[in-house]
Chains A and B, each alone.
Chain A
Amino acid sequence: MNVPAAWYLVLAAVLFGIGAFGVLTRRSALIMFMCIELMLNAVNLTFVTFSRTLSDISGQAIVFFVMVVAAAEVTVGLGIVVAVFRRRSSTSVDELSELKG
C-alpha cells in the first residue's frame, strides 16, 4: 500500500524545523553548516514527493540542481571557515561580532 504523500511532507517539514533549530542554537560554524544541510535535504524531500505525486520530472531536476549548489556552497563555506579559523583558532560564530551597530 502506498503511504500518502502527506506523511512524507510532514516528515520533511519536521526535518526542516529540526535543522532550523540547530542553526539557531549551535555555536560552532561547522555544526551550523550541517544543520543547513539538513534543511536542504528537507527541501529536497519535499520536491521529490511532489514530483512523484504530480508525475512531473521537473521536481527531480530541481533536486539535482539543489544538490550541485549545495556541494558548491559547502566547498566555499568550509573554505571561509578555514580562513576564519586561521585567525581566531575558534569556530564559534559568537566571536565574529565586530559588525555590530
Chain B
Amino acid sequence: MIAGTYAIPGILVFVTSAVLILVGAIGVITLKNPVHSALSLIMTLFGVAVAFIAQEADFLAAVQIIVYAGAIVVLFLFVIMFLGVDRRDHVSVEPLVGQRAFAAVGVVVTVAGLITLMARSHWVTGAMSVSTGGTRLAGADGNVRQLGTAVFTTYLYAFEATAALLIIAVVGAVLLARRERANQEDDQTSQEVSS
C-alpha cells in the first residue's frame, strides 16, 4: 500500500483530498463558463481519487481517473464545444423566486442532519455483507484480484446487467443524436449512413 510504504501522514493526504474536492466542487457550481466548470470537475475527481487511495481502493482510484476524469468529463467537453455553449451563463439573476433560499435551506438541513445522524450512530454501524463475509480489501494477490473475484463471482448478475446497460446506453445515445429524416433528400440520408 502506498500510504504505508511512504509513511505519509494520513492527515496530509486527507487535507489534500479535501482541498481538491471542495475547491473543485465550489468551482463547478459557481463558475460561469461551462468549460471552466468542467475543469473544476476534473479537480474534484482527482481529489476523490486521492481519497480512494487513502482508503485502500487502489483499483477504483485508477478507474476513477481513467473513466470519470478521462472519459466522462471529456465527453462533457465534447458536447460543450459541439453545442457551442461555452459562452457565459448568467448566474447572477435567478428567475425562479426563492429558489436559492429554499435550496440553501434544504441542502444545509439535509447535510447537517446526515452528519448528526452519522455522529449519533458512531459513524460506522453497518454490518458486513452476508455473502462475502467481510473480505479483506487486499488479499495476498492485491486489491485488483479481490475486487475482480467479488465482481465476477458474487456480483456476476450485476456485472452482466451493467454490461447490457452499457450497450443500451450506446444505442440510445446514437438514436438520440441522429438528425431527423424529415426535409432530407434520400441520397443525403444514404450518404450520411454510409459515411
Query: Which positions in A face B, CB cutoff 8 Å?
Result: 1-11, 13-22, 24-28, 30-31, 33-35, 37-38, 41, 44-45, 48-58, 60-61, 63-65, 67-76, 78-83, 85-86, 91, 94
Contact = CB atoms under 8 A, between A and B. Distances in A.
6 contacts: A13-B118, A16-B111, A34-B28, A38-B28, A70-B68, A72-B162
A61 B154 contact: yes
A67 B64 contact: yes
Q: Counting chain A CB atoms within 10 Å of each CB, which of B9, B72, B166 scores highest? A: B72
B103 A30 contact: no
A61 B34 contact: no
B107 A17 contact: yes
A69 to B, nearest CB: 6
Interface of B: 9-11, 13-14, 17-18, 21-22, 25-26, 28-29, 34, 37-38, 41, 44-45, 48, 51-52, 54-57, 59-60, 63-64, 67-68, 71-72, 75-76, 79-80, 82-83, 85, 89, 91, 94-96, 99-100, 103-104, 106-108, 110-111, 114-115, 118-119, 123-124, 126-129, 131-132, 134-137, 143, 146-147, 150-151, 154-155, 158-159, 162, 165-166, 168-170, 172-177, 179
Chain B interface, DSSP helix/strand/loop, else mixed: helix
Contact of A17 (B80, B91, B111, B166): B111
A5 to B, nearest CB: 6
Contacts of B13: 3
A73 B159 CA distance: 16
Given A1-B9, A15-B44, 20 more contacts: A5-B123, A13-B111, A13-B115, A17-B111, A37-B68, A38-B25, A38-B28, A41-B68, A44-B48, A54-B124, A63-B57, A64-B60, A64-B63, A68-B166, A70-B72, A72-B168, A73-B169, A80-B176, A83-B177, A91-B83
A91 to B, nearest CB: 5
Contacts, number: 250
Given A17-B108, A24-B107, A67-B68, A41 B123 contact: no
Contact of B14 (A8, A26, A55, A91): A8
Nearest to A30: B34
Contacts of B100: 24-25
B132 A1 contact: no
Contacts of B169: 71-73, 75-76
Across chains A and B, which 4 residue pairs bring their CB atoms closest together, nearest first? A79-B176, A22-B29, A72-B169, A24-B103
Contacts of B106: 20, 24
A57 B29 contact: no
